[in-house]
Amino acid sequence: MAETKKYWKGIEELTKPESVKGLAENEFNTEISTEEFLGNKENLEGSQTSRRDFLKYMGFSTAAATLAACEAPVVESIPYVVAPEEIIPGIPNYYATSYFDGHDYASILVKTREGRPIKVENNKMAGINGGANARVHASVLDLYDSTRLNNPLINGEEANWSDVDAGISRDLNAAVASGKQVVMLTSTVMSPTTKKLVKEWGAQTNGFKHVMYDAFSYSGKLDAIAAATGKRALPTYKFQNADVIVSFGADFLGDWIGQNVSADYASRRKPGKNMSHHIQFESNMSLTGSNADLRHKIKPSELGNALIALYKELGGNANGGETNLSAQVKDAAEKLRKAGSNGLVVSGTNDADVEAITIAVNKLLGNGGTTVDYSNRTYFRQGNDAAMMQLIEDMNAGRVGALFIDNLNPAYLMAGNSKLTEGLKKVALTVTFAEKENETTALCKYVCARHNYLESWGDFMPADGVYSLQQPLIRPLFNTRQTEDCLVKWMGKNGTYYDYLKANSAATANWKKALHDGVYKASTAAAVVGDDEPGFFERIFGGDDTDSTEQSETVSGGAAVDIASISSRLSKTKGGAYEIQFYENTAMGAGILANNPWLQELPDPITRVSWDNYLTISAADAVELGMENTNESNGALNGSYATVTVNGKTMENVPVFVQPGQAKGSMGLAVGYGRSAAGKVGNDVGVNAFLLMDGSHSAEVKIEKGTGTHGFACTQLAHTMMGRKIVNEVTLDTFLNQPARGEGGWNEVTEFETFKGPLTSDETNLWDDFDHQTGHMWNMSIDLNLCNGCGACVIACHAENNVPVVGKEEVRKHRDMHWLRIDRYYSSDMTEEVAEEQGISGIDMYAAMEKPSSSPEVAFQPVMCQHCNHAPCETVCPVAATTHSAEGLNHMAYNRCIGTRYCANNCPYKVRRFNWFQYEGNSKFENNLAMNDDLGRMVLNPDVTVRARGVMEKCSMCIQRIQLGKLTAKKEGRLLKDGDIQTACQSACDTGAIVFGDVNNKESEVFKLKQNERMYHLLEEVGTQPSVFYQTKVRNRA
Amino acid sequence: MHYEAPIRKPLITGDKSYHDITVDVARPVETKAPRSWWLVFGISLVAFLWGVGCILYTIGVGIGTWGLNKTVGWAWDITNFVWWVGIGHAGTLISAVLLLFRQKWRMSINRSAEAMTIFSVIQAALFPGIHMGRIWLAYFVFPIPNQFGSLWVNFNSPLLWDVFAISTYFTVSVVFWYVGLIPDFAMIRDRAVRPVTKHIYKILSFGWGGKAKHWQRFEEVSLVLAGLATPLVLSVHTIVSMDFATSVIPGWHTTIFPPYFVAGAIFSGFAMVNTLLIIVRKVFKMEDYITIQHIEMMNIIIMITGSIVGIAYITELFIAWYSGVEYEQYAFLNRATGPYWWAYWSMMTCNVFSPQFMWFKKLRTSLMFSFFISIVVNIGMWFERFVIIVTSLHRDYLPSSWSMFSPTFVDIGIFIGTIGFFFVLFLLYARSFPVIAQAELKTILKSSGEKYKQLHEKDGHH
């Protein structure tokens, strides 16, 4: 029943509704005299504007005019017309994909924000290469490189795809009609579907050949393996099973054969009875050598003889084997014999003979399947130097009618081979598929603008039983097309490569799950892949043309390998007075990402030099050749120039870097630099070692001193620890058998005599302590045994925290902005003990300590803000811009910072970084692509402020991730779990050296690590009480 | 009338009457500037403008225009700051402390010494401002009420103490100086013939009438301000030294710093007073007021404070060894033998060895030598601050971060600019202000004037 209730608002409304109604109608009690004023003209004219009024009007109009004159920048943000379901602004999405650039492969997760890929993360589900290296972490920036090709090119002019398609089709028909070869030249192709597609496409023409060539070739190694096992594919190396590792020049922690073994290696580097023992024979100081327990210097030409000596020590029959390292080889042999099948010998050359002996040594150890698995192969390197040489010969002989080059830059990689460019001119149709203009695109008629990997579909078969997918994360930014799509189109097929891939993929049945995970697990893949013979490719595609030739001469087990003749050939190798060893350095690899400023600015883990490559020579050779490294008055490093002649080719002005640990008589030179058409960042950085290189990784060299000096951008000026307790280290024997704590212990905590008796620095306090028990207490553990110095964390930090790139000149002035740096220390021959023994005075002792040993031990130490709980920076800031959080972190309020730099001065760890200039939006820093290029800016992490000039910045322990983790847990109504929050450096570290967490959670890993007897704080005695702690380095030797 | 023993040397030489003093002091104000003044002023002005240019360049482009790096965050900026503050110590010491100690000889030099103090504190105050990355936010260092919530300055920070110490010191010094100037401005006002000049000095002299009450108040205010200023002499450089002493950097973290810095400040301040007065007395023909005896007194103080500084240096070395702290030991070893050994030994030579010549009467009464040493001392004191700041920072705890420092043209330009600015101010002062506190000086004419002393002697007044 409806009832009309009447509510009253006041007693008056109830009692006298009429009067209230009257009041409501008459809102203004008194009449407003507008009419009186405005209607009366006389009155209006007679009114005077008072001085006050005049000033008011004038003030207002001036202000209004001023405001109107200021044009506010127009920032357009365009809303989605149809909002994608999965995108919530502010919430990142992660997609699994795979990275492969012809050289590096990794299975990765990519973080996208509002549809923009901004960060690469490791894919923990990956069967192989789930740990991305520094280059893969940096690759996301290349997506936003504004120098990428926007359109395909015909003869260097921008064109549209239909013209390109028509032109290629016409020219290809002509080439086929002429009866000449049609050749597809690519990098290693790890994609089974691409291979199949290429094969299908090639089948349409007669005389089609597919040639693979690797940027840094291991063709000789593959040949030797093919001769021994019958299959031209690399074995899987299982470092996790190796008790003793002996490496002959293999930089397996740096760049080797594409298999990322650092996590496997690290799994056996945890101190304990189970710790592996690693012996390295090498000429250059490599990342691997610097992590070895024993490192022996040897010239590249002597590696073969040392291996023969080892083979003989282990009971093999061979010729030669004279080496001046016989004692060291004997020692290695003994250890290997003891380890038996858990021993592992690896070598790192492109010389088939060396690899043949290595295979034979491993066979003697009986480690097949345990540490070297020939039945589970990897396909990271499949290039064939002989095929490539044949191709060049064919081109020059006019036998090639059409050449398609994909994912490879032969004009740069074979810069020393003039026949290549000559040959290219004789090919009627030259097509290259490239993301950017490079050295090769200039020589080709058609340039098919290629997608970035983040825009492409694909699949990879990095190893037997491992399958991964690549999916696009963003619509193509430019008018580009991926190579496979071109082939699909040219074959006249319906649909796109996506359809082709989906139909032909090994994971077709489980497409969605495979796409989600990025990888297709071996358990499910087994049905497809099979065990050993025939391999995966054969099963799917029925043989592979690169394999077919070798297969005829296969004998399994290596019995047919003629050790006697190989060893006598090898033992006759004559080295020169000076030999050069080409290598790939950590930042640049083969130089594919040379236009990536993050990588260019990444200091080499060994030399700490960025923006350069250089000839590394030993101190003794430097003295002999009259070369030197000196420091300018501002600390910047300078080096002499050398004129280098290799294989009859001379290169002038090669900068010289004196490298401790370099074998005397040997020199190192990194490839990947000296690009001439990489883009504005990468052009003319360093020298092109490929000009000198001739397939082999090492060669005889003639060297002369050049004129002038070269300026290096070296971030570290002092190289030794000066007898200080910085990287604490101990031998395994001491670690196992002696007490850590207490007086004389190997990890003794410094105590101070006080009136209360001896106290540690944590207990002696001038200040009131913060409450560390309530809530979270974030701590970080860094295991110096697991860190191998690879630099992936540095790049991850760059990408996560929008760290600016400052360029060579600024790095040279020691103004690098890295929030996280990896300090590298060499041991010195001088110690306090030596000085005492020899009666050397303090002054002379410290002067001698500054000099690294010629065979130094190396230690790496990642250092970021230590988040001191008694932070020296916090007390000195006049404006309280840096303060302490209740969770044990040291905060930085950029808005409050006035830039006195007092905090940086007072930081014992020197981790604070000052914005000396405006690095964002400043044309002077155009190398800082991520901040000075409209497209480059897309890579910035929107959760992290881009800092302005004059502001101090530093590691925040990825505060944005901590907040996100806490909020997520809160939203889900649960407590934060250990591992919910991972800092960028931690998640980039595939060896697990960095562990972050809450020490108030007694179940957390970081809490357990804090109780570890190896735990120590850096500069503990200063009393800063850092939240970051380190785990003592343990070296496995007496 | 105060009686002074005949054995004391007269503080005013020559046959001077009260009127002579008036005329002598007013002369530079009343006459046209000679060409040499214009020349020096021109050079100073150019240097000053060059400095302004460098400062504007720094503010416009960034601190990166200086030679600093991630390890050495302060170098010439704070070196210059401390150097100028140190120089600024002599004025107040002379006018306040010596007033309280009734040292009559201060009267002919305190005016210029104080002017020097104020001008050098102005130079010093520039540096904490321009060394900031974001100088436009410099007001953040003042504890002003604000709309940022409960945002307040950090009272733990020595840099904040600096803000208070320097601003207080500057204010008190200016007031003290000005109070002393009032009777002298009145004197110039009374003598002025041009109406504009007369009007300006009338305003400046605050209507001084020379009444007994005026003189009484003048004396009282001077004494009160002297009392206020005296602790400031000690506090300012004590607080400046705490910028370093309260830090954790080896070579900075030293409890000896406060007395050591104060002694060094007086040392350099007196040297600067000597530099200026030796020129002033010559140019303005004031040899009768600023006598050799004055210079000698100053030299003795320079010698004493120089020796105190020397003891402090040696104590630092001893304590570094005695502490057993390896970082501390290395810091000092590195100062003396590391890459900046030349700076350390320049400092040692200039500050510790050179003042020892003043033990010889012949040398300390030689004008040329005194002038030379006064310059040497200030060079030495600049190096002292450079050594403390740069050599401590460039090699601290972690060798991985060790670096070096080299100044850019901007660093040098700003320093030269402050010297130019200082001389611009001082030269303007010298031609428009009474450079000797003549009113005060007249009070001792009859007790310490040479003529009157001779009269006493002749008349047998004892």
Any chain A CB within 8 A of the CB of B61? Answer: yes
What tens digit of pLDDT does each residue of A531-546 get? 333 344 343 333 343 4
Reported confidence tier of residue A127, pLDDT bands at 50, 70, 90:
confident
Amino acid occupying residue B193: V
- Span of A57-71, A280-294, A768-782, A962-976 with lowest mean pLDDT: A57-71
Q: Is residue B82 part of a domain?
A: yes
Reported confidence tier of residue A552, pLDDT bands at 50, 70, 90:
very low
**Interstrand relation of A372-378 and A153-154 (parallel, antiparallel or unpaired):** unpaired
Q: Is residue B319 part of a domain?
A: yes
Nearest CA in chain A to B65: A916
Amino acid occupying residue A210: H
Dist CA B223 CA B97 (whole Å): 10
3-state DSSP assignment of residue A282: strand
Gap from A875 CA to chain B (nearest CA, Å): 6
Report the sign of the C-alpha dihedral through residues B185, B187, B191, B195, in that order: positive
Residue indicated by tokens 């003629």: A562
CB contact under 8 A, A821 and B400: yes
Instruction: Render the burial of A777-802: b for 16+ CB within 10 Å, e for the rest.
Output: bbbbbbbbbbbbbbbbbbbbbbbbbb
Tally of domains in chain B: 1
- Among A717, A901, A917, the residue with its CB nearest the CB of B73 is A901
Instruction: Supply A204's token pair.
Output: 């349409």
3-state DSSP assignment of residue A75: coil
Helix boundaries (H) for A105-237 = 134-138, 140-143, 161-177, 192-203, 219-229
Residue indicated by tokens 């009260």: B18
Q: Which residues of A touch B79 (CB under 8 A)?
A: none
Instruction: Supply A962's token pair.
Output: 């901590």
- Taking residue B368's Cβ as centre, other Cβ atoms within 10 Å add up to 9
C-alpha distances (whole Å) from B120 to each of A565, A776, B58, B92, B114 are 86, 51, 21, 12, 10
- Among B128, B133, B395, the residue with its CB nearest the CB of A949 is B133
- Among A721, A843, A951, the residue with its CB nearest the CB of B399 is A721
Residue indicated by tokens 């070798």: A550
Any chain A CB within 8 A of the CB of B166? Answer: no
Nearest to A816 by CA among A718, A925, A915: A915
| Residue A1006 · residue A976 · CB < 8 Å | no
How far does CA A389 lie from the centroid of its chain?
A: 32
Helix boundaries (H) for B284-354 = 292-323, 326-337, 341-348
> Please, which residues 106-165 of chain B have a Cβ atom closer than 8 Å to chain A?
128, 131-135, 137-138, 140-141, 151-154, 156-160, 163
Identify the H or E element spanning B257: helix B257-283
Identify the H or E element spanning A610: strand A609-610
CB contact under 8 A, B400 and A898: no
Q: Which of A41-55, A131-145, A500-514 has the highest mean pLDDT?
A: A131-145
Domain layout of chain A by residue ranges = 234-378, 579-714, 729-1035
What pLDDT, on the 0 to 100 scale, is given for residue A868? 93
Looking at the predicted structure, is the pLDDT value of residue A44 above 70?
no
C-alpha distances (whole Å) from A214 to each of A135, A413, A875 are 17, 9, 56
Q: Is residue B84 part of a domain?
A: yes
What pLDDT, on the 0 to 100 scale, is given for residue A557? 45
| Residue A891 · residue A777 · CB < 8 Å | no
Nearest to A266 by CA among A291, A247, A287, A231: A291
Find all residues with CB under 8 Å of A498, minimum gap 6, and list them. A457
Gap from B309 CA to chain A (nearest CA, Å): 24
Dist CA A692 CA A646 (whole Å): 6
Nearest to B254 by CA among B416, B131, B388: B388
Return the bridge partners of A609, or none. A714
Reported confidence tier of residue A608, pLDDT bands at 50, 70, 90:
very high
Identify the H or E element spanning A236: strand A234-237
Dist CA A816 CA A913 (whole Å): 8
Instruction: Supply A396's token pair.
Output: 């020059």
Q: Is residue B429 part of a domain?
A: no
Amino acid occupying residue A535: G
What pLDDT, on the 0 to 100 scale, is given for residue B10? 80
What pLDDT, on the 0 to 100 scale, is given for residue A123? 92
3-state DSSP assignment of residue B340: coil
Instruction: Render the burial of A467-501: b for 16+ CB within 10 Å, e for the rest.
Output: bbbbbbbbebbbebbbbbbbbbbeeeeeebbbebb
Q: Say how many Å lie between the first and final Cα of chain A, rounded.
A: 98
Instruction: Supply A1's token pair.
Output: 């029943």
Dist CA B62 CA A948 (whole Å): 11
Which residues of chain B are modeled with pLDDT < 50?
none
What count of CB pairs under 8 Å joins A to B?
A: 190
Nearest CA in chain A to B244: A906
Which residues span the domain enclosing B385? 37-133+153-395+402-422
User: Could you write out the DSSP letters of every residue in A538-577?
Assistant: HHHHS--HHHHHHHTT--GGGTT--HHHHHHHHHT----S
Reported confidence tier of residue A646, pLDDT bands at 50, 70, 90:
very high
> Please, which residues 261-290 of chain B have a Cβ atom closer than 8 Å to chain A?
none
Complex ipTM over 0.90: yes
DSSP state of A132: -
Residue to substitute from B65, B66, B70, interface A, most A β-carbons within 10 A: B70
What pLDDT, on the 0 to 100 scale, is given for residue A429? 93
Q: What is the dihedral of CA B272, B275, B276, B282, to 10 degrees?
A: 160
Instruction: Supply A38's token pair.
Output: 């405005």
Q: What is the dihedral of CA A873, A877, A882, A888, to 10 degrees?
A: 40
What pLDDT, on the 0 to 100 scale, is given for residue A34? 66
Class in CATH terms, A234-378:
alpha beta
Dist CA B2 CA B12 (whole Å): 15
Reported confidence tier of residue A706, pLDDT bands at 50, 70, 90:
very high
Q: Peptide bond before B434: cis, by omega within 30 degrees of 0?
A: no
Q: Is residue B435 part of a domain?
A: no
Reported confidence tier of residue A522, pLDDT bands at 50, 70, 90:
low
Find all residues with CB under 8 Å of A708, minimum gap 6, and list them. A641, A653
Class in CATH terms, A729-1035:
alpha beta
Q: Is residue B177 part of a domain?
A: yes
Amino acid occupying residue A124: K
Fold held by A579-714 = Barwin-like endoglucanases (2.40.40)
Whole-number average pLDDT of chain A = 89
Dist CA A693 CA A505 (whole Å): 38
Any chain A CB within 8 A of the CB of B323? Answer: no
Looking at the predicted structure, is the pLDDT value of residue A164 above 50?
yes
Return the bridge partners of A670, or none. A583
- Among A810, A909, A914, the residue with its CB nearest the CB of B398 is A909
- Taking residue A676's Cβ as centre, other Cβ atoms within 10 Å add up to 14
Instruction: Supply A172's token pair.
Output: 């290809």
Dihedrals φ, ψ of A343, to 5°? -90, 155
Q: Which residues of B touch A720 (CB under 8 A)?
A: 399
Dist CA B178 CA B200 (whole Å): 15
Q: How many Cα atoms occupy the beta-carbon half-sphere of A826 within 13 Å?
A: 26
Q: Is residue B121 part of a domain?
A: yes
Q: Which residues of B touch A863 (CB under 8 A)?
A: 398, 400
| Residue A381 · residue A222 · CB < 8 Å | yes
Q: Of A5 and A857, which is predicted with more confidence?
A: A857
What pLDDT, on the 0 to 100 scale, is given for residue A936? 92
What tens digit of pLDDT does each residue of A784-843 get? 999 999 999 999 999 999 999 999 999 999 999 999 999 999 999 999 899 999 999 888
| Residue A794 · residue A822 · CB < 8 Å | yes
- Among B134, B151, B153, the residue with its CB nearest the CB of A878 is B153
3-state DSSP assignment of residue A399: coil
Looking at the predicted structure, is the pLDDT value of residue A90 above 90?
no
Residue to substitute from A630, A721, A905, interface B, most B β-carbons within 10 A: A905
Q: Which residues of B touch A905 (CB under 8 A)?
A: 73-74, 247, 249, 393
Looking at the predicted structure, is the pLDDT value of residue A73 above 80?
no
CB contact under 8 A, A815 and B137: no
Nearest CA in chain A to B245: A906
What tens digit of pLDDT does each residue of A721-778 get? 999 999 999 999 999 999 998 888 899 888 888 888 888 887 887 777 778 888 999 9
Nearest to A470 by CA among A724, A727, A190, A172: A190
Q: What CATH number is attached to the domain comprising B415?
A: 1.20.1630.10
3-state DSSP assignment of residue A668: strand
Dist CA A265 CA A257 (whole Å): 15
Long-range contacts made by residues B205-209, C-beta under 8 angstroms, separation at least 24?
B206/B182, B208/B182, B208/B183
Any chain A CB within 8 A of the CB of B401? Answer: yes
Q: Which residues of A touch B70 (CB under 8 A)?
A: 814-816, 904, 910, 912-914
Q: Of B399 and A569, which is predicted with more confidence?
A: B399
Dist CA A343 CA A243 (whole Å): 6
What tens digit of pLDDT does each residue of A290-329 get? 999 999 999 999 999 999 999 999 988 888 888 889 999 9
Instruction: Supply A590's token pair.
Output: 């083969």
Dist CA A784 CA A989 (whole Å): 12
Instruction: Supply A388's token pair.
Output: 């490539």
Q: Is residue B29 part of a domain?
A: no
